Chain A
């Protein structure tokens, strides 16, 4: 993992002191709310429905056991004993006090963490594949690129006042687990015919009010030019992005209105003026950063351990968890272990302080002290020996972290919704719980197969409902909670925006409606055909007909 040097540490320490003084001046009245609000947003501090909310950055979803323990400590010391992992791989605390937030930031700084740029019109947390460095099919580790982009974008003097927020995601695999095509900039690592590393550059993806899949503006950008090219994109956006209407200020609108061809022409023209300058990182600096992500001292182990196979055979529950929640690892004899934060009937993405500590301990003992946060709001132990999986599973079970539902219908992605968020128009969590309870039967879930349900409590789409196989958007209809249903969305390498199926449905009818959608799929699917493939084959009509059937 990347480790701060003196410069990095000074930066976070200075920011803590700066914010401490800003809070003092706010509480004394030297700063009014209008003056203070942009300052607190620069430190990820929102004012929400019930209290302040602090969004802590977890760069490309990677954190250490020590950092996870610090988050647990903050949850207990300053909050109400829990936190919420988000769809951008960050963590949110829902109850911090303004007067204590400088102390929280100081505790974060002690473990090389911060809350910079998790809010505001700036470049936000860079996200990446949660299996970075360990996925079998990976072309190259995206964490190095993500770390380079993180450092470049942190307190970038030219891009601290963009027209709107800006989100960048990186993937190093053909299988896109970072949803790069629905980010403002998505980077796909590629190796060209000459064996050189570079990126496919995708721009203008996004969700929210105007969901759009991004366009490729460059098929192959050599790695050495990454920063100058990103700089060019941001410069053009900064110049022409709208500032008169926050709903039309994202880069996706710029590209939509200008056209991808013209946008690309402007970017390439800008790039010509700044490539081969000091903006691009020297090779030595790439190597310095790469060294932090060097292969770990894995043991040489057989691909399949007889003892492990026996345990799988003997214990059905363990077997289900292995089959559902673990994946093969690049290193023989190792596995990637997913920790579900979606217990049946639970709150998606929430973890108690105790659960955080348990995960920290497991990571320290079994995963080289490393944890990942997935944008699907689950956690990952990325480097575990196959022979340790049984011990890990037993501990996870004790703490309600072993639900074997990865990628299944109860692995629901949901924003905090109107239970927490001042922007929300409807609740999302109770609906997630009701759907989870309805489909609690594991055998049925596995029979249904891979099926993502994403729930957003408002048009801002923090639950990524547009790219759910089934998406639910909460709306307010004369004071009642209604939900618009979309089907056919996908966040992966075949990204698509879900289609609205018909009129919104009242809360009390949604779970039954989902049931009918699932039954429709089960009835018409071909052998081994997934939900999304079946939908793409038959279209929305069969689902629409059954969704709105009245008894």
Chain B
């Protein structure tokens, strides 16, 4: 199975976030917990849906990534744009460590 992370939008402001190991949500994809098997994905999605019910996030889903050391690069361009922000506004680029 491909390596995945979970992404969503934060409910109160819509900002893109990723679920972390300690069950928080970070704007930084390199803070995201990584999943390598289906069971782990299902368990994590379950936690994400709990966060939706708790009105923390909305619209959780799995994002396929390539993990290169500490860098997590989404394999789909759309998800890459979600990480870096609009490609035409580098001044609005989100602060990401990856």
Which of B29-37, B40-48, B51-59 lies at the binding interface?
B51-59
Selected from B13, B53, B87, the residue in CB contact (under 8 A) with A419 is B87
Chain B residues with a Cβ closer than 8 Å to the other chain, count = 25
A98 sits at the interface (CB 8 A): yes
Chain A stretch 382-441: residues in CB contact (< 8 A) with chain B: 418-420, 424, 427, 429-430, 433
1/0 per residue, CB under 8 A from B, across A79-102: the answer is 010000000000000011111000
Q: How far is the CB of A347 from chain B (nearest CB, A)?
A: 6
Once the chains are docked, how many angstroms separate the CA of A27 from the CA of B11?
Answer: 8
Selected from B76, B85, B86, B87, the residue in CB contact (under 8 A) with A479 is B76
Q: How far is the CB of A522 from chain B (nearest CB, A)?
A: 30
Contact call A51/B15, Cβ cutoff below 8 A: yes
Q: How far is the CB of A434 from chain B (nearest CB, A)?
A: 11
Chain A stretch 42-101: residues in CB contact (< 8 A) with chain B: 47-52, 80, 95-99
Measured CB to CB, the nearest residue on chain A to B94 is: A50
Contact call A47/B88, Cβ cutoff below 8 A: no
With A98-B12, A479-B76 known to touch, is A49 a contact of B88 (CB < 8 Å)?
A: no
B20 sits at the interface (CB 8 A): no
1/0 per residue, CB under 8 A from B, across A224-251: the answer is 0000000000000000000000000000
1/0 per residue, CB under 8 A from A, across B1-39: the answer is 000000001011111100000000000000000000000
Contact call B13/A99, Cβ cutoff below 8 A: yes
Q: How far is the CB of A160 from chain B (nearest CB, A)?
A: 24
Chain B residues at the A interface, C-beta cutoff of 8 Å: 9, 11-16, 52-55, 58-59, 75-78, 81-82, 85-89, 92
A-B contacts, 20 listed (Cβ < 8 Å): A27-B11, A27-B12, A29-B53, A29-B54, A29-B55, A33-B58, A48-B14, A49-B78, A50-B15, A50-B85, A52-B13, A96-B14, A98-B11, A419-B88, A427-B87, A427-B88, A429-B88, A430-B87, A479-B76, A479-B77
Chain A residues at the B interface, C-beta cutoff of 8 Å: 26-29, 32-33, 47-52, 80, 95-99, 347, 418-420, 424, 427, 429-430, 433, 479, 481
